[in-house]
Amino acid sequence: MSRFRLGNAMCLSFVVALTTLQLLAPLRVAAVESSQIPDRYMSLGLEPVTGIYDFQYKNFRDGDRQSIIIRSKDQGNFLLVLDRPIHPRSKDIGRLARYIIPGKSRLHISDGENLVPRDVIAVYRLRDRAHEKAMIKFLRAND
């Protein structure tokens, strides 16, 4: 009988520990994300978004060495900040999912020879093409 109680107590403590970790994980990811985002992106005054969901990919454009711009057919344009620098003239994006969530999504960007994995650490909405061009000009000048 005592073995049964001990087993139940261990299972209960495991469930409590697992639930606590699941509740705290998003807070940890959010804290890591904000500390990783370079100041030049934070100072742009862009609208941050929690993610891009169920979008139809159209094409992309280089921002600076650590960002790209994704154009969708149905939701507009977005500036994606990556965790590390990329080749200054990327050729293509491989394995693009229909959703992009900062801190959870990974892109595979081609430099012409290899697919290089990069994590997305922030996503910002761009208003229109003129806004996109202004952001690219600013980012490249300050890269």
Contacts of 49 (CB under 8 A, 6+ apart): 78, 123, 124, 125
Decide the pairing of beta strands 57-64 and 115-126: unpaired
Same domain, residue pair 69 and 127 = yes
Report pLDDT digits (tens) over 101-132: 999 999 888 877 888 899 999 999 999 989 99
Domains in the chain: how many in total? 2
Mean pLDDT computed over 2-24: 52
Same domain, residue pair 113 and 137 = yes
Contacts of 72 (CB under 8 A, 6+ apart): 52, 55, 56, 57, 58, 78
Confidence at residue 133, expressed as pLDDT on a 0 to 100 scale: 92
Same domain, residue pair 78 and 48 = yes
Report pLDDT digits (tens) over 16-27: 554 554 554 454
- Domain range for 21 is 1-36
Same domain, residue pair 7 and 44 = no
